[in-house]
Amino acid sequence: MSESLAAYGRLDQAARRQLAKAVLMVGAAILGFWGFQATVDDATRWQMSTIWSNVFNTLQLLTTQFPPNLPSNEVPTQLQIARFALPIFAIWFTAAAILRRFNRPLLAWWAGLTRGHVVLFGDTLVTRALATAFRAANREVVAITASADTDKVTPIEASGARVVFGDATQPQALRRAGIHRAAAAIAAHDVGKSAVALATSVAAVNREKRAAGAEPLTFLIRLSHRELRALIATQVAAALRESRVDVRLYIRERTVARSLIARYPADWGLPPGEHDVHAAIVGLGDMGGELLLQLARVAVPSPGRRAVLTAIDMRADGLKDQLLGESPGLANCGELRFIKAEVHPSAIRAEDVAYWFRAPLPATAIYVCCGDDHANLSMAIGLRRAYARLGRPSPPIFVHQRESRDLVEALPHIHATAMDTLRILPFGDVGEEADPFFLIDEEVDDLARLMHEEYLKSRGNIASSEGATPATRPWATLPEIYRAANRSQADHVPAKLRALGWHATPVRTGEAPSIDAHQLERLAEQEHVRWCRDRWLNGWTYAEHRDDGKRHHPNLLPYEQLTDQIRGLDRKTVTALPALLSDLGIGLRKDLRLGVWFGRDAVPPLLLSQVTSMAMPGGREHYLQLVLPMQNTTELDLVQSLARDGNIGVDVVLSRSAASPAGAVSDDIDRLGLRRLIAASDRTFVVEPDPNLDSELADLSALCDVSDRVIVACARTESATAVVERLEPARRLKVDVVAMSA
């Protein structure tokens, strides 16, 4: 029996379905034969002539023929079941076989008649994720793949796509996929040498078949090799000229880098305030290169603060020459360090960490993208161990995990007692990459488009002698280089909001917070530096007179050397931000940082309810930012009870001491829940309490320093007041005490 079960377990799903069908047919046939035998006298039942006659009668049931000489009131129950079951099963299984044989041609024919769908090329991990994502968004999907070897359902079909088999570089396959009726086509894997042939065929079918009044086809094409990207892109663009195709390069690494830095800026692991920035990248391949460029573009510190970008790779010298050759202006975007080193996770020494990540100032974020998922995770763990040997808390480590986040999610359970792994965060998985919002939906450019329109309005205040430039065209005809510049400006909006202590909210209520003169001037200077970096990275240089053809610009100067009229444009960019976001239905509120301190004693449910009521914002003039020291498991319960309100964020504070150099959290807190909270937080940073105070008082004092208000909740009043009364007067004024009893 066990051997049979083991053999069954080795069967694939299709074989199990076939076995189930066979069992049903054989079972129904046995019932039919048994029923016919029951209608025969005992004396002749087992004669060979009777047996063969009943076998024939049983087979006749498949064609719905039933012997007419059997009285209906004498038909056995098993025969009644079989007379219906056998023909039903026969029709069902035959129809399924016919459909399986002709289903693909029928679906392929129907695909050619579909309109407004998305065409995918190939059957890969990414195209399957794309198919799933688009189908979840109620978008029809057609995939063009090579012919399948069997009738089994292919993975891309299982993802919800209709399939057209053929060579995507041939016009007939594109016609069968209805690409001339599609809204978008995506080549999500590197098509390499086939890029030009594919583009030529897409252009030919589009010119021949696309209706005159239809919107242009959005065509995303992936080109992995940075060295050949510009050359192939030029050839692709030439092939698609005059074909009503809006071609865009699909650079996966660039999309991932933009998404990551927007969600987790380089100062995510630091408390609020102005800081130096030191972002370090381990592994300078395609992903590392795009991260370096995006950080150079938007990781702009406050005026007077330093920005250091460190890249560590065994081929650092050659990659440095390549990057600076492609983007000479990269050298102007902060302090660049290229370190040649062959890094082995198990051989990272404390002195290596000190040289790579502690000089010239401590790293604020580390990005690991040196190999596959396992190699990247091993490197992240090795770096964390090396920091522990150094006796210092490590900055957040962002580890590239393309296929799955599961290994990183397991870290707190495996290494929870050995070292701090809570700020090792994965990025760049296929699901994140395959979000239609970032690929083809126009909403992703809405803020960039509004910023461009605001720029066009501001041109009226500039001397007309400068004349019109390609950058002053409407968005629909704006060259891609200027669209990219507006996207870069939009990418920096979260950094501006963080600097102001504001949050974007989905509902507009009341007036936006005001910006004082000091904040305005510092943000205007920061915006000018960001603008300069973006121009430098796109090959622009300083010249007295503007020349878009040569990429010369007179404003590529330090902020203090600009005329007040030009500085006014940077100020207007900052002051116009609330109105631009309002046009998108987004409101702005100033943060109210509320620290919550639960005492060491058990917290009754009623006390949690009281804290929740106090924390719940009554008005909508502020955005509630909870600041949680993770000293009590009740803090997770508080977050869950407040999660229904969409205007609440969380900062997690890890307290560092000599006993816990990586940052301490309570032992009874659920590590998986805490890890997820950290991943969703706006900041997770480490503080160093005053070593001259006892641990409880030092931790509470540190919480007061990073909060606007603090709620201290204890089961007994004397427990709360005992620690609060020991605070310094300025800190004590921030504290509200909640207790159940004396």
Torsion of CA 457, 246, 483, 329, to 10 degrees: -150
Does the pLDDT at position 683 exceed 90?
yes
In this structure, the answer to whether residues 148 and 243 fall within a common structural domain is yes
- pLDDT at position 4 is 64
The last residue of a domain, from among 195, 227, 250: 250
**Per-residue pLDDT at 466:** 47
Secondary structure letter of residue 725 according to DSSP? T
- 35-74 confidence digits (pLDDT tens): 888 888 777 778 888 888 888 888 888 777 777 776 666 7
Amino acid symbol at 178: G
Residue at 104 is within a domain = no
Q: For residue 56, is it within any domain?
A: yes
Cα–Cα dist 73/461, whole Å? 99
Tell whether the model's pLDDT for residue 721 goes beyond 60: yes
Residues 709, 646: one domain?
A: yes
222 contacts 188 by C-beta, under 8 angstroms: yes
Classify residue 418 by its DSSP letter: T
Portion of the chain with pLDDT greater than 70, in percent: 85
pLDDT band at residue 465 under the 50/70/90 scheme: very low
Residue 462's pLDDT is 46
The residue among 250, 270, 304 that closes a domain is 250
Q: 705 is written with which tokens?
A: 């320093």
Whether residue 446 is contained in a domain is answered as: no
Across the range 643-658, mean pLDDT stands at: 79
Q: Is the link from the previous residue into 395 a cis peptide, with omega within 30 of 0?
A: no
CA distance 155 to 128: 7
Does residue 711 share a domain with residue 620? yes
471 and 432: one domain?
no
Could you tell me if 80 and 187 lie in one domain?
no
Q: pLDDT averaged over the chain?
A: 83
In a domain, 389, yes or no: yes
Residue type, 458: S
pLDDT tens figures, 339-392: 999 889 888 988 999 999 998 999 999 999 998 999 999 999 999 889 888 888
Does residue 447 sit within a domain? no
Question: Does residue 203 sit in the same domain as residue 330?
Answer: no
Distance of CA 352 to the CA centre of its chain: 32
Do both 178 and 289 map to the same domain? Answer: no
Q: Which of 306, 294, 200, 178 is nearest to 247 (CA)?
A: 200
Residues 337, 303 share a domain: yes
Alpha helices in 459-562 (DSSP H): 480-491, 493-500, 517-537
Q: What is the pLDDT of residues 198-233, one digit of tens each?
A: 888 888 898 888 888 788 888 888 877 666 666 666
184 lies in the same domain as 231: yes
The CATH number of the domain where 562 resides is what?
Answer: 1.10.490
pLDDT tens column, 272-329: 999 999 999 999 988 999 999 999 999 999 999 999 999 999 999 999 998 998 888 9
Residue 60 in domain: yes
pLDDT at 537: 94
pLDDT greater than 70 at residue 440 = no
619 has pLDDT over 60: no
Average pLDDT of span 150-174: 84
In the chain, the number of structural domains is: 5
Q: Give the integer Cα–Cα distance in Å for 404 and 429.
A: 6
- For residues 393 and 476, the model is more confident at 393
- CA gap 389, 610 in Å, rounded: 43
Q: Is 354 exposed, middle or buried (0-12, 13-18, 19+ CB in 10 A)?
A: middle
Cβ atoms within 10 Å of 317's Cβ, excluding its own: 12
Q: Quick one: 579 and 594 in the same domain?
A: no
Tell whether 406 is covered by a domain: yes
Query: CA-based angle 289:410:655, to the nearest 5?
Result: 80
Give the C-alpha separation, 714 to 717, whole Å.
7
CA-CA-CA-CA torsion for 438, 285, 426, 189, nearest 10 degrees? 40
Task: Assign residue 285 the CATH number of its domain.
Answer: 3.40.50.720
Domain boundaries, position 689: 590-741
Query: pLDDT band for position 151 (50/70/90)?
Result: low
| Residue range 514-531: mean pLDDT, rounded | 94
Output 577 or 512, whichever has higher pLDDT. Answer: 577
Q: Which residue has the higher pLDDT, 728 or 235?
A: 728
- The mean pLDDT of 601-628, rounded to a whole number, is 76
pLDDT for residue 464:
43
In a domain, 672, yes or no: yes
Output 84 or 731, whichever has higher pLDDT: 731
pLDDT digits (tens, 9 = 90+) for 1-13: 566 666 666 666 6
Could you tell me the CA-to-CA distances from 185 to 2, 219, 484 in Å, in that order? 50, 5, 21
**If you average pLDDT over residues 629-649, what whole number do you get?**
82
Looking at the structure, tell me whether residues 243 and 275 fall in a common domain.
Answer: no
Domain final residue, candidates 583, 606, 641: 583
**Same domain, yes or no, for 638 and 685?**
yes
CA dihedral angle for residue 243, residue 246, residue 247, residue 252, rounded to 10 degrees? -160
Evaluate the CA torsion angle 176, 177, 183, 189 in order and state its sign.
negative
